[in-house]
Structure 1
């Protein structure tokens, strides 16, 4: 099973379309959304081609392939226009006999690690900074942001395939990777 991760769309139809082109090119089985889908947030600038309504409609067309969690900019009003569940603070999925703890990152993160076991994986967005590393006895993975990257990083997404996490820019170039 190949998983495609994006975080922090923040209402940009431009960058969502770019990410979905990458999703199709990668031929991933599922699209994992790590929060902050529609709203840009009070601390962020308006992103390129800000259009939350169109973002919702486009994401809904992928609803059967989406696994999603709530970001700090997502709200119950967003769930009213989104046709897949996206209000959980976290989700846990099994991947090759290993738990993946999916969350946005504003609650659970490197500084507040959830109760997960050795060699399991904490996957989150929120910081807009790509991360692929082993930290103590767990793996940390953050695909960065497709819309508003920070610290001079490119617009990025993540892939998990055959126990290899890769972070790539929107042209498919490898930025970071780590093997489980």
Structure 2
């Protein structure tokens, strides 16, 4: 199973369309918020199940603030992250995930790609495909793959560049 995780597109649906073309076939798409417009259009062009949550800029969209999903054997929390103070780190998010038994947490808001694989919980941020903030400011997304043994693997990709299938 192959899942595309994106965040913080801020209405730049042309970037979402470009990433979808770049990564090829996917089984699911997750958007970690700050969609800003075109949620129906995004669902249409994804051509697969889509999980989408509201970010702090999604005033006019009827999206949940968080979503719990099952991906293979993994219990996953999708959130934008601003309610967990992620600009100051992922401590609150990690505590929440551990308290509620999540295996994986996906968040956005910071526009900075992040992967923390822990013994009890994995915390992921795809970065932003439209307005990156990390050094070098390359637009990023994340691919989560579930292998034949049911194990998850994660890798960031760079939008508009060749995606290297190196998985962690």
Q: Same fold (TM over 0.5)?
A: yes
Q: Alpha carbon RMSD of aligned pairs, Å?
A: 2.5
Q: 1:148 aligns with which of 108, 131, 136?
A: 131
Q: Which segments of structure 1 move beyond 6 Å, counting only runs of 4 or more?
A: none
The number of equivalent residue pairs is 153
For structure 2, which runs of at least 5 residues remain unmatched after alignment?
147-151
Cα distance in 2, alignment partners of residues 145 and 59 from structure 1:
16
Q: 2:91 aligns with which of 111, 136, 139?
A: 111
Cα distance in 1, alignment partners of residues 40 and 139 from structure 2:
22
Asked whether the equivalents of residues 105 and 125 of structure 1 are also in contact (C-alpha less than 8 Å), the reply is: yes
| 1:97 and 2:93 correspond | no
Cα distance in 1, alignment partners of residues 102 and 13 from structure 2:
36
Cα distance in 2, alignment partners of residues 17 and 126 from structure 1:
20
Cα distance in 2, alignment partners of residues 158 and 115 from structure 1:
20
Bigger helix share = 2
Deviates more, 1:105-114 or 1:145-154: 105-114
For structure 1, which runs of at least 5 residues remain unmatched after alignment?
39-51, 80-86
Structure 1 residue 7 displacement after superposition:
0.3
Asked whether the equivalents of residues 77 and 102 of structure 2 are also in contact (C-alpha less than 8 Å), the reply is: no
Asked whether the equivalents of residues 168 and 176 of structure 1 are also in contact (C-alpha less than 8 Å), the reply is: no
Match of 2:149 in 1: none
